[in-house]
Amino acid sequence: MGHSRNSALSDGRTWLLDQQVAHCTRYLLAALPPGGAPVLLVGHSIGAHIALQALTSNPEAVRGVVGLYPFLTLNAQSRTQALLAVLVRLRPLVWLVAHVAAFVAALPTAWRLSLLRRPLRALLGLSDEAAQVTADWLRADSVRNTCHLGASEFQALTPPPDWASFRAFGNRMRLYYGPEDDIWAPEPHAAEAARQGLSVVRDPTVGHMFCVTRRGCEHVAAATAAMLRPMLAVAVERG
């Protein structure tokens, strides 16, 4: 949906959050194995929000969710998030940045990284590894898609989460939080989820952008497997 360098996989359209939720849910229901085999979903960041929506709207199909660093509501304490919420709504700015991105994307990788490392670290707090991934991923469609989707995310997640719906399926959820200063899934959000009776795992070892390093991927994969095992056992037992 706009992030691939293969033009056959990117038609230039942009997608709102509710469209992403609807698309993922339709895909899930169409791909379900016959016989009612238990399906457990794992979602990261905004993907955790989408996975939880799939569970609460289709509890017969989705038996459980592991939400990694879940972005469930705005972080009122984050100036970075507040700034991004404004910037992604400025269409002329998004258009300008997309065209600059198209120019930068044409440069050799080393040049792209040299240009992007400092602003990405200052604005988003990205590590050098994450900046490298961003430099490789950069393209005009990706910028437009990310900003359009981001604007709808900030709007949709301004209210607090629907804790009542989550509590109804609380025994089928695991929420995994990282360092306290994670701007998307900070400690106060983890504390509130725990107060609401949800199962919360805190692990400050690896941060939100775990997937840009092999060590981070292996660590979070092991933690995810540990959370999935009891959920899978219960789902199989219930048929």
Residues 34-56: pLDDT tens digits?
766 778 999 999 999 999 999 99
User: Does the residue 112 lie in any domain?
Assistant: yes
User: Does the residue 106 lie in any domain?
Assistant: yes
User: Does the residue 70 lie in any domain?
Assistant: no
Pick the closest to residue 88 from 147, 143, 149, 146 (CA basis). 147
User: Does the residue 13 lie in any domain?
Assistant: no
**Are residue 131 and residue 170 in the same domain, yes or no?**
no
User: Does the residue 52 lie in any domain?
Assistant: no
pLDDT at 9: 46
**Are residue 169 and residue 134 in the same domain, yes or no?**
no
**Are residue 113 and residue 168 in the same domain, yes or no?**
no
Residues 4-23: pLDDT tens digits?
445 444 555 667 899 888 88
**Are residue 83 and residue 139 in the same domain, yes or no?**
yes
Q: How many domains does the chain have?
A: 2
Greater confidence (177 vs 94) lies with 177
**Are residue 99 and residue 166 in the same domain, yes or no?**
no
Domain limits at 140?
Answer: 79-154
- Average pLDDT (79-100) is 88
Q: Which of 96, 122, 154 is at the close of a domain?
A: 154
Residues 115-156: pLDDT tens digits?
776 766 666 566 666 666 666 667 788 788 888 889 999 999
User: Does the residue 223 lie in any domain?
Assistant: no
Q: Does the pLDDT of residue 191 top 90, yes or no?
A: yes
**Are residue 238 and residue 166 in the same domain, yes or no?**
yes
Greater confidence (132 vs 1) lies with 132
User: Does the residue 238 lie in any domain?
Assistant: yes
Greater confidence (176 vs 58) lies with 176
CA 70 and chain centroid, separation: 7
**Are residue 126 and residue 166 in the same domain, yes or no?**
no
pLDDT at 202: 97
pLDDT at 167: 94
- Residue that has been written with the tokens 């952008």 in this structure: 209
User: Does the residue 120 lie in any domain?
Assistant: yes
Q: Which of 124, 154, 184 is at the close of a domain?
A: 154
Q: Which of 154, 185, 220 is at the close of a domain?
A: 154
**Are residue 149 and residue 167 in the same domain, yes or no?**
no
pLDDT at 135: 67
Q: Does the pLDDT of residue 105 top 50, yes or no?
A: yes
**Are residue 137 and residue 116 in the same domain, yes or no?**
yes
